[in-house]
Structure 1
Amino acid sequence: MRDLKSIDQPFSNKINIEGSNYLYFGGTAYLGIPQNQDFIDLYIEGIQKFGLNNGTSRTNNIQLGIYDDAEKVAAARYGSEAALITSSGYLAAQLTVKGLSTLGKIIYAPATHPALWLNDQPANQQSFNDWKKETIKLINASEEQNWVLVSNSMNNLFPEIYDFNFLTEIHPEKEIILIVDDSHGIGIHNNGMGALINLPVKSNIERIVVASMAKALGIDAGLVLGSNALIAKLKNGNIFIGASPPSAASLFAFIKAEKIYQHGWTRLQENIKLFTAKINETWAFEPAFPAFLTRDSTLADCLLKEKILISSFPYPKPESKPINRIILSSWHEKEDIEKLVAAINF
């Protein structure tokens, strides 16, 4: 029995297990940053410049300027007025939801990531399409004026990228704060710019995006994008004041890596086009997004015999059948994908 729970090497397009090489099509390193030598060199340069970590609060009287620099770069890169960077995506989400949930009646979209929950899992088993119709009716008919809507930007398990333009149907006197988790979209969706630029722009809608930077962007940090006013409010909150920031070295690499990200995105899109040209209509996926869902619950075991690993786990309960997905990355070579396609069509 192969031990897939105690791998002792970095993930890449290939993993050596018990002396044998396996192709790997899982995880969330969509741009291949963890194994990108140019990015690693920038990270090492950042360590040499700033050291390994910085355990002081962002409100300390003595500060590293790179944190403000990285936030300005992130805001400009992803189309926001302002940005806030934390040590993790989970912290960014919790900071935002706890800081803004008191500003209106909160509504959760289906399958919202646990990082955005205030307490227990919101009871919502609807489709996104049904939820948005119900939300329009609920808000327009209510006497409540202020609302906080919380959602993922997409469902990456059963690939679906959400369209939030339905919010334009809400009466203009209603004040909406829209919090969107774009952890799987930032760096990938909309030519790498993520979800913010597609969210509806109206005077009664305040848009705010949270994201883990540990997926496509390859650094252990969290990001919040929003207006100057909301970002300033969150920076004055207890969570931001009390938390240590991420590694300055990682943000040094993030600032310097724009061309690396662009190259990774271009290569990822080439891999997506190569794979989608070979598969049939039974696969579920979103154009330009690297997750591909199959309804064949036996595929992971079949591919394992061909020394190919894919994402496979039971969902939504431990006793459920596994959902099997193939995840592409820019670290995959053409021959990796060709071998995968040949194995699927055996």
Structure 2
Amino acid sequence: MPFNLSLAERDAAGLKRSLPVIDRVSGRQLFSHGKTYLNFAGNDYLGLSQAPELITASDAAAREFGVGAVASPLVVGHQAVHRQLEAELTDWLGLEAVMLFSSGFSANQAVIKALLGKEHSLWQDRLNHASLQEAGLLSPARMQRFAHNDMAVLAGKLKPHSGLIVSEGVFSMDGDQGDWHGLTRLAGQSGNWLMIDDAHGLGVLGTQGCGTLSEQGIASHKVQITMGTFGKALGVSGAFIGGSRALIDYLHNHARSYVYSTHLPPPQAAAILAAVRLVQQADDQREQLQQRIAQFRHGTAQLPFSLLPSNTAIQPLLVGDEQATLQLAAQLREQGCWVGAIRPPTVPKGSARLRITLSAAHTAADITALLTALEKAIKHSRKR
């Protein structure tokens, strides 16, 4: 079998992934093997994963409903807590209807594979998440990728009334936002549908945390399909697809990862519901997060590596070389800062980076500690 050779090659190139074992993690801290680290690798942007309200809601639902949904939602798995969560999501985000999924990956796969046939076209931003790119490859539709946020290139590829344009609200590895004014304009002109993956914008951006469309002043009805996740700013896990009632009815019948999967556990749905309510009132946390982002970006101005242009919680420090990226991450860990080292194929070759993520739970002192650790790590790497 070829896998041993493949793993050896990846290891030599600094591309082999490993699975760290930790004891506990929150938006601010990570505990592993008796040590405490500042956590700059997670997606708990508002620090809600440890919120007492979520824990209380989950515990109460476990006592009332049990810990499992028992079956798929279309059999006996859909309960009152699921229906309440769907209702509050539609009210919050201005959608006609939503449906719940166990993960953003399964939600993205479900939509693209259920909606598109061989007669359709699919246009994707080149930096879209792997779940979207893979779904496009697996679907019978003709998929074309366009240069990141390049509306001129997209305009040249579009065919009228023939398919779906998909982009992200906030791009998970670069931290910048999609050009949703340009996307809605081109979709309207060409008569094609639009889908937003707002996994990293939901809860963090816009009025009441409604997400990227709200942040950019775009009405939700201009985008036919919305995907959002509960595992980032909402601090839990799972996802939803939202849109028209007709779309959701269709997906109830044709989205295979929904029809044939056990539903979200009721305690999980209850925790998400508590998070939805908290997020709408979290203006102070969103403001605090913006302060931490500004502090970090100001503090990195003199570093020898480029910080990609991002005003979101995702702050990528571009290193380039894979081994150097791993070494910097290891040096930061020795100084008590846990940072993700992102390498190909997750990002393009030559663009390995430290994916530094910030949370409203971080203090100003935490950011100062990270900046100090970065300076020391870079100096150490230059001495090698």
- 1:213 alignment partner in structure 2: 230
**Take 1:301 and 1:340, find their aligned partners in 2: how far apart are those partners?**
13
**Take 2:284 and 2:175, find their aligned partners in 1: how far apart are those partners?**
21
Residue 362 (structure 2) pairs with residue 332 (structure 1)? yes
Q: Quote how far apart the aligned CAs of 1:9 are.
A: 1.1
Residue 70 (structure 2) pairs with residue 91 (structure 1)? no
Provide, for residues 122-180 of structure 1, a one-character-per-residue CA deviation record: whole Å limited to 9, x for no partner: 67472322xx21222333xx4x4332112222322122101122245448574211112
Q: Quote how far apart the aligned CAs of 1:329 are.
A: 1.5
Structure-2 change in CA distance of 1:300 and 1:258 (3 Å): same
Is the CA contact (8 Å cut-off) linking 1:149 and 1:177 kept in structure 2? Answer: yes
**Take 2:262 and 2:363, find their aligned partners in 1: how far apart are those partners?**
38
Structure-2 change in CA distance of 1:17 and 1:274 (3 Å): same
1:6-85 correspondence runs (5 A): 6-12=20-26, 13-60=28-75, 63-85=78-100
Residue 298 (structure 2) pairs with residue 284 (structure 1)? no
Superposition TM-score, scaled by structure 2 size: 0.77
Superposition TM-score, scaled by structure 1 size: 0.84
1:262-301 correspondence runs (5 A): 262=280, 266-277=284-295, 278-281=298-301, 282-287=306-311, 289-296=312-319, 297=325, 299-301=328-330
Aligned residue pairs total 336
The letter of the residue matching 2:227 is: V
Provide, for residues 4-32 of structure 1, a one-character-per-residue CA deviation record: whole Å limited to 9, x for no partner: 84423121223344433222211112122
Bigger helix share: 2
Structure-2 change in CA distance of 1:92 and 1:339 (3 Å): same
Is the CA contact (8 Å cut-off) linking 2:169 and 2:198 kept in structure 1? Answer: yes
Provide, for residues 197-223 of structure 1, a one-character-per-residue CA deviation record: whole Å limited to 9, x for no partner: 4585599x6521112222222223221
1:1-346 correspondence runs (5 A): 5-12=19-26, 13-60=28-75, 63-102=78-117, 104-116=120-132, 117-118=134-135, 120=137, 124=145, 126-129=147-150, 132-139=151-158, 142=159, 144-170=160-186, 174-191=190-207, 192-197=209-214, 198=216, 206-239=223-256, 240-262=258-280, 266-277=284-295, 278-281=298-301, 282-287=306-311, 289-296=312-319, 297=325, 299-316=328-345, 322-345=352-375
TM-align CA RMSD: 3.0
Is the CA contact (8 Å cut-off) linking 2:100 and 2:240 kept in structure 1? Answer: yes
The letter of the residue matching 2:148 is: S
Q: Which runs of 5+ in 2 are unaligned?
A: 1-17, 320-324, 377-384
Is the CA contact (8 Å cut-off) linking 1:151 and 1:181 kept in structure 2? Answer: yes
Q: Quote how far apart the aligned CAs of 1:285 are.
A: 4.2
Structure-2 change in CA distance of 1:165 and 1:238 (3 Å): closer
Q: Which runs of 5+ in 1 are unaligned?
A: none
